[in-house]
Amino acid sequence: MIFSAKSLAAATVVAVSIFTFQGQANAQTGRASWYALTSITASGERCDPSAMTAAHRTLPFGTKVKVENLKNGRSVVVRINDRGPFVGGRIIDLTKGAAHKLDFVSSGTAQVRLTVLDS
C-alpha cells in the first residue's frame, strides 16, 4: 500500500490530537451541543437520539466518556460513535437524550468537562 504525504500528515494530526487529549489527565473542557438525527453515524450504526452516544472529532469509536455539565454538576457517560462537531468552539456533540440528562436541551449548548474512562 502506498501512502501520499498528505494522507500521512492527516493521520499524524489525528494521532497527535488523540495523544494530547489523553495526555492531559484524560480531561478536556469546552462547549457541547446536541443533535437528534436518525441517520447513519460515521461508525456505521444508526443514530438513536435517545441513546447515550456522542460525536467527537478524534476519539476512537467505542471510547466511553464522562460528560459533566459545569453549570449544574450533572453528568452522563456516553460512547463515541460519530464524528463532529464541525462548528467552531465545540468539543462534543451529544444525542438529545444525553443533553436532556445534562439539562441543556433548551439552551442548545453547555460548558462541559470530558473525561475519558478506562475501558
Neighbouring CB atoms inside 10 A of 57's CB total 17
**pLDDT tens digits, residue range 71-86?**
999 999 999 999 999 9
Read off the pLDDT band of 27 (50, 70, 90).
confident
Q: What is the CATH number of the domain that holds 51?
A: 2.40.40.10
Q: Which domain holds residue 81?
A: 5-116
Q: Provide the number of structural domains found in the chain.
A: 1
pLDDT for 54-67, tens place per residue? 999 999 999 999 99
The answer to whether residues 91 and 30 touch, using CB atoms and an 8 Å cutoff, is yes
- C-alpha pair distances (Å), 14 with each of 8, 19, 51, 58: 10, 9, 26, 6
Contact 90, 109 (CB under 8 A): yes
Instruction: Tell me the pLDDT band of 22, cut-offs 50, 70 and 90.
Output: very low
Whether residue 114 has pLDDT greater than 60 = yes
pLDDT of residue 18: 44
Instruction: Say which residues have a Cβ less than 8 Å from residue 105's Cβ, sequence separation at least 6.
Output: 34, 96, 99
